[in-house]
């Protein structure tokens, strides 16, 4: 096969963010842009991809199928031995993580921009995962970035276009290509984790337990169908928006109260007891029943507390729990009560992987609707949804009256107290404004009189007790990650956190995370918005955020 060397120009903006490289499709379609990044991924591997087996999958968004062919071409020239590809390029992010691990491959290339909108005028993304199935650690993504900055050429073998819509074993030039069923291995994995007989018995014998699953036209439609309809024998009606579309039907495939409003509306209208949604690439989840919203920070805490009802943990035990830094501290209390090791890591799933590989972490989560365990090395939306079904089935055993999501939450708060939590996102603001906000935080943190200063709103006074620019030292490999978010703590245990998003594709996005702990039972029923109002006012006053960003209101509140 003839290897062609194509001269290229290097780009300066191919730095992978929190989770891969994400840009507008138009940018990826620019001359050499996609090719350069794929070449850099291969070059960053030992031996430049030679002899490697790599998985290719993604959320099926626009530009994915073209990129699969690009990867074939560049991989063939690099001497890749084999590609394992999800049928029609489809593999949810957790399913890809499973395939990478199960077939002992050298890693995978995931074509997704996750919860970002898709289509010709929206976003595309490319993410590299290593042999453990997890997102490449910073050492690897930094190496990829360094290569992109100086790349002078890339190499291709042009063996035409391979039809990836049919399952089977094929060849692309010299490379073996296995096109596999996108769903089968994942369903087997789930069946080995959860108590499906118990869930089946519960849902079939409890007709008042109504279910609705919304895939937001992302990748999880076929996974949801296989689990809810084929395995649990629920009716077709439990599926909503379950056909994956390259542009997600024009929507924003992010499972939260704003973007999954179709699920929320349907759940409320039909008084659905258990509703759930997941994001474009299937690693996020939202649990939402009629009148019952589970914040992701609470969700992971509840799952950990109920771990014994899930066969995987009952058998293997729980070896440590963790959360990302801005996530509420609900899980800390659960870890403490059970005597488990606990970790606080920076935002982004890649930081959990080392701990899992070392056998020190079983269950973890992020406030951004990410929940998961060491069954794979990515967060896993469908896993979290089935975990809640498993917990509800267990909680309902031998009960006369239906135990609901709210009953589970109420019992949890009673035991541990409640961490009120909310996140304000200011999307696509000017980079100058965002940087000025952070610079101002730096100077506040450096000033001697900030600590101890007091601020009052709506009759409540908050005293600044501590300020930290979060640095993480990985307990396994001692690598250090700096500048992971500015934390202002108050003397009553509340805190606000500010950080810049690393997944945006345009301008800057500022996130403000607000948390307040309460052990006052009379408050547990309050909405997060009411419970947090005074603290939010104070945070805005201290940071002058509205002035710096030129925005009165956040784009999204979760
Ligand atoms: C966001 C979330 C983070 C999550 C990341 C990837 O990152 O805050 O918790 O891990 O998205 O999620 P950032 O840097 O924009 O805050 V996914 O579902 O987009 O892969
Ligand atoms: Co995602």
Closest residue to atom 1 of ligand 1, CA basis: 503
Is the model's pLDDT at 145 over the cut of 70?
yes
Side-chain-side CA neighbours of 345 within 13 Å: the count stands at 25
173 and 294 in a common domain: no
pLDDT of residue 378: 97
Query: In CATH, what number is assigned to the domain containing residue 101?
Result: 3.40.120.10
503 CA from centroid of ligand 1 (Å): 6
Q: Nearest Cα to 226, choosing from 288, 194, 265, 183? A: 183
Task: Please tell me the distance from the alpha carbon of residue 168 to that of residue 179, in angstroms, as a whole number.
Answer: 5
Distance 23 CA to ligand 1 centre (A): 15
Note whether 425 and 470 are within 8 A (CB): no
Which residue puts its alpha carbon closest to atom 19 of ligand 1?
A: 114
pLDDT digits 0-9 by tens, 415-467: 999 999 999 999 989 999 999 999 999 999 999 899 999 998 888 899 999 99
Query: What spacing in Å lies between the alpha carbon of 460 and ligand 1's midpoint?
Result: 32
End-to-end CA gap in the chain: 53
| Count of domains for the chain | 3
User: Can you tell me the distance from the alpha carbon of 178 to that of 212, in angstroms, rounded to the nearest whole number?
Assistant: 34
Atom of ligand 1 nearest to the CA of 349: 10
The more confidently predicted of residues 516 and 531 is 516
β-bridge pairing 239-240 and 472-473: unpaired
Q: State residue 17's pLDDT score.
A: 84
Substitution site in 16, 17, 18, 23 for ligand 1 pocket (most atoms within 8 Å of beta carbon): 18
Predicted local confidence at residue 506, as pLDDT: 74
Clarify whether residues 337 and 199 are in a common domain: yes
- pLDDT recorded at residue 84: 98
Helices marked H in 91-137: 93-102
Q: Which atom of ligand 1 is nearest to the CA of 114?
A: 19
Answer yes or no: are the C-beta atoms of 24 and 149 closer than 8 Å: no
Query: Is pLDDT at 482 greater than 80 in this prediction?
Result: yes
Percent of all residues in the chain with a pLDDT value above 70, rounded to a whole number: 100
pLDDT of residue 505: 67
Q: Which ligand is nearest to the CA of 280?
A: 2
Note the ligand closest to the C-alpha atom of 350: 1
Decide: 300 and 371 in contact? Cβ < 8 Å.
yes
Is pLDDT above 90 for 332?
yes
pLDDT higher than 90, residue 108: yes
CA of 114 to the centre of ligand 1 (A): 9
d(CA 106, CA 123): 27
Domain residues for 8? 3-182
pLDDT higher than threshold 70 for residue 292: yes
* Residue 377: predicted pLDDT: 97
Ramachandran bin of 333, using left for φ above 0, alpha for ψ from -120 to 50, beta for the remaining angles = alpha
Residues 398 and 441 in one domain: no
Q: Which of 136, 166, 182 is the last residue of a domain?
A: 182
Between residues 503 and 27, which one has the greater pLDDT?
27
What pLDDT is stored for residue 174 in this prediction?
A: 96
For 115, 161, 447, the CA distances from 59, given in Å and listed in that order, are: 10, 20, 47
Model pLDDT for residues 160-193, shown as the tens digit of each residue? 999 999 999 999 999 999 999 999 999 999 999 9
In a shared domain, residues 423 and 404: no
Predicted pLDDT of residue 8: 96
Boundary residue ending a domain (364, 384, 416)? 416
Residues near ligand 2 ion, CB 5 Å cutoff: 114, 279, 281, 283-284
Quick one: tokens of 546?
A: 């509205």
Look over the chain and give the mean of its residue pLDDT values, rounded to a whole number. 95
Local confidence band at 46 (pLDDT 50, 70, 90 cut-offs): confident
Output the CA torsion 552→259→287→59 (10° steps). Answer: -130
Same-domain pairing of 429 and 286: no
| H-run or E-run covering 452 | none
- For residue range 56-106, list pLDDT tens digits in order: 999 999 999 999 999 999 999 999 999 999 999 999 999 999 999 999 999
Residues 496, 508, single domain; the answer is: yes
Question: What is the distance in A from the centroid of ligand 2 to the CA of 58?
Answer: 10
One domain, residues 266 and 286: yes
At residue 246 the predicted structure's pLDDT band, cuts being 50, 70 and 90, is very high
Same domain, 408 and 422: no
CATH number at residue 530: 3.30.310.50
Question: Which residues are catalytic, by number?
Answer: 114
Is 250 a residue whose pLDDT tops 90? Answer: yes
Own/partner pairs, 311-318, CB within 8 angstroms, 24+ separation: 311/193, 311/194, 311/195, 312/192, 312/193, 312/194, 312/373, 312/375, 313/362, 313/363, 313/373, 316/362, 317/362, 318/362, 318/363
SS (H, E, C) 361-377: CCEEEECCCEEEECCCC
Residue 344 has, within 13 A of its CA and on its CB side, a CA count of 15
Among the three residues 150, 182, 214, which one is the final residue of a domain in this structure?
Answer: 182
CA-to-CA separations, 544 to 124, 192, 494, in angstroms, rounded: 34, 51, 19
CB 470 within 8 A of CB 453: no
- Protein residue with least CA distance to atom 6, ligand 1: 19
Average pLDDT over residues 355-374: 97
**Distance between CA atoms of 56 and 38, rounded to whole angstroms?**
12
Q: Looking at the predicted structure, is the pLDDT value of residue 373 above 80?
A: yes
- Supply the DSSP symbol for 228: I
Q: For atom 5 of ligand 1, which residue has the closest CA?
A: 348
Shared domain for 402 and 467, answered yes or no, is: no
Q: Is the pLDDT of residue 523 over 90?
A: no
Identify whether residues 190 and 144 lie together within a single domain. no
465 and 438 in a common domain? yes
Same-domain status, 297 and 409: yes
């Amino acid at each position: 096969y003839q290897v062609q060397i194509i001269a290229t120009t290097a780009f300066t903006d191919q730095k992978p963010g929190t989770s891969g490289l994400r840009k507008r499709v138009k940018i990826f379609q620019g001359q050499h842009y996609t090719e350069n990044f794929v070449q850099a991924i291969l070059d960053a591997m030992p031996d430049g991809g030679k002899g490697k087996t790599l998985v290719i999958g993604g959320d099926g968004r626009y530009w994915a199928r073209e990129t699969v062919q690009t990867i074939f071409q560049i991989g063939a020239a690099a001497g890749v031995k084999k590609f394992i590809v999800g049928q029609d390029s489809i593999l949810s992010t957790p399913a890809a993580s499973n395939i990478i691990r199960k077939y002992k491959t050298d890693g995978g290339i995931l074509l997704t921009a996750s919860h970002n909108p898709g289509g010709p005028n929206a976003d595309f993304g490319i993410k590299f995962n290593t042999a453990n199935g997890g997102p490449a650690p910073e050492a690897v993504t930094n190496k990829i970035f360094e290569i992109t900055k100086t790349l002078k050429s890339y190499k291709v073998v042009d063996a035409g276009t391979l039809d990836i819509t049919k399952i089977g074993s094929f060849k692309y030039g010299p490379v073996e290509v296995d096109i596999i069923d996108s769903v089968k291995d994942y369903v087997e994995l789930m069946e080995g984790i959860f108590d499906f007989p118990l869930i089946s018995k519960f849902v079939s014998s409890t007709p008042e337990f109504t279910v609705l699953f919304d895939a937001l036209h992302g990748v999880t439609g076929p996974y949801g169908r296989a689990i809810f309809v084929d395995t649990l024998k629920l009716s077709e009606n439990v599926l909503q928006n379950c056909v994956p579309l390259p542009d997600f039907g024009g929507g924003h495939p992010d499972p939260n109260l704003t973007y999954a409003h179709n699920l929320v509306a349907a759940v409320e209208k039909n008084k659905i007891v258990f509703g759930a949604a997941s994001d474009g690439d299937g690693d996020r989840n939202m649990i939402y029943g009629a009148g019952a919203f589970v914040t992701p920070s609470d969700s992971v805490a509840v799952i950990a507390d109920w771990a014994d009802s899930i066969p995987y943990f009952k058998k293997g035990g729980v070896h440590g729990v963790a959360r990302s830094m801005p996530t509420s501290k609900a899980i800390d209390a659960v870890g403490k009560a059970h005597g488990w090791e606990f970790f606080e890591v920076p935002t982004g799933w890649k930081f959990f992987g080392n701990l899992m590989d070392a056998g020190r972490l079983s269950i973890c989560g992020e406030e951004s609707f990410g929940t998961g365990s060491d069954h794979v090395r990515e967060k896993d939306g469908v896993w979290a949804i089935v975990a809640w079904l498993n917990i509800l089935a267990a909680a309902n055993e031998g009960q006369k009256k239906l135990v609901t999501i709210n009953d589970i939450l109420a019992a949890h708060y009673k035991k541990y107290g409640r961490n009120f939590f909310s996140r304000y996102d200011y999307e696509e603001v000017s980079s100058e404004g965002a940087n000025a906000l952070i610079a101002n935080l730096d100077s506040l943190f450096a000033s001697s009189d900030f600590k101890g200063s007091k601020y009052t709103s709506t009759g409540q006074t908050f005293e600044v007790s501590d300020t930290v620019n979060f640095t993480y030292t990985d307990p396994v490999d001692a690598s250090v990650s700096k500048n992971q978010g500015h934390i202002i703590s108050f003397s009553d245990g509340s805190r606000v956190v500010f950080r810049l998003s690393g997944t945006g594709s345009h301008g800057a996005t500022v996130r403000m995370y607000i948390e307040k702990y309460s052990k006052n039972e009379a408050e547990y029923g309050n909405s997060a918005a009411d419970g947090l109002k005074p603290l939010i006012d104070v945070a805005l006053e201290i940071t002058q955020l509205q002035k710096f960003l030129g925005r009165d209101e956040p784009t999204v509140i979760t």
